[in-house]
Amino acid sequence: MGKSKILILGDIMLDEYLFGTVSRISPEAPVPVVEITSDQYLLGGAANVAANIKALGDEPLLLGTVGEDEASVKLVQLLKERRISPQFVVNDASRRTTIKTRVIANNQQVVRADRENTHELDKDTERKVLSRFKSVVDEISAVLISDYGKGVISLSLLEQVIDICVEKDIFIGVDPKETHFHNYRRVSVITPNHHEAGFAYGKRIRTEQDLLEVGNGLLAKLQAKSILITRGAGGMSIFRRDEEPTHIPTFARQVYDVTGAGDTVIATFVSAVCAGADLVEAAIVANAGAGITVAEVGTAAVSVQQLKSELEHNIKNGNLARATS
């Protein structure tokens, strides 16, 4: 891992964290009063995926849109601090840069406030995004689509990108938005959680039999090469064409914050595939990455060394995967 050029296409966000303590309830309403002691800005959405790819040693090419506002300036500054090039980020004056503000008190999230626009890109902006994609498509090992439903991943843009990738045999990984689920056809891997997968298929996953029906059903409907369903405490399950599903148990030792866990899963999975891993091996690596991320507050980028340590721990403490017929 760490030798590939991976393009990340999706919704770029800025994550703001306000940290504080609670010692009383407001006299104005039955809500806690948080005394803010510090704040922090982090890369969010597709930008956090790019940070994960960078931490793994690969070269991320971040493609998406931001507004022409103070938040976009802050976001570009954060990208440069991580040594992630902002050259493929398109400024769109018709929308604001998405900001998610989380208030954390006593290590627990109290509230989240979102500032965003979610309308689809206009045709001119979409053409700019597609043009920047085409300018580097012959240099990349994979495309990673990070869709948060904020307007960048329109059906028309998605279809054009997928057509080009299929023609050039470029690996396509998708971190999905459930309402767009059936747009992600012919991709290499899609990584929904079990709620998203159940919603997309129209059946809630309650039992292992439900899981098998949903996973195999979506695989056929989407004509995808694989589907990786993340299941929280249940671990992960990967479904592949003409193969039995493989289940990977969770090894997370403690869970503080699931923010950004999906970003870590797709980033580590795609990075591992680009390095030569098969799909099950990549899922085992992604599972280890998720275990590291949820043990930290806020979005976190996982390094190769952390992955090695986590995998060694997992190997010592149980079987990494099992197939189910």
Q: How far apart are CA 324 and CA 228, in angstroms?
A: 14
Question: Which architecture characterizes domain 11-23+32-323 according to CATH?
Answer: 3-Layer(aba) Sandwich (3.40)
Model's pTM, two decimal places?
0.89
Could you tell me the sign of the dihedral formed by the alpha carbons of 187, 116, 48, 73, in that order?
positive
Q: By the 8 A CB rule, do 12 and 89 touch?
A: yes
Q: How far apart are CA 7 and CA 142, in angstroms?
A: 6
Query: Residue 229: what pLDDT?
Result: 94
Q: By the 8 A CB rule, do 319 and 249 touch?
A: yes
Active-site residue, from 15, 175, 257, 263:
263
Q: How far apart are CA 19 and CA 241, in angstroms?
A: 46
Query: Residue 164: what pLDDT?
Result: 97
Query: Residue 122: what pLDDT?
Result: 94
Query: Residue 321: what pLDDT?
Result: 63
Q: Where are the domains of the chain?
A: 11-23+32-323
Q: By the 8 A CB rule, do 69 and 97 touch?
A: yes
Query: Residue 36: what pLDDT?
Result: 96
Low-confidence ranges of the chain (pLDDT < 50): 256-257, 325
Q: How far apart are CA 319 and CA 210, in angstroms?
A: 23
Instruction: Give yes or no: 263 in active site.
Output: yes
Q: By the 8 A CB rule, do 87 and 32 touch?
A: no
Cα 186 to Cα 35, 99, 162, 167, 268: the distances in Å are 49, 32, 8, 11, 21
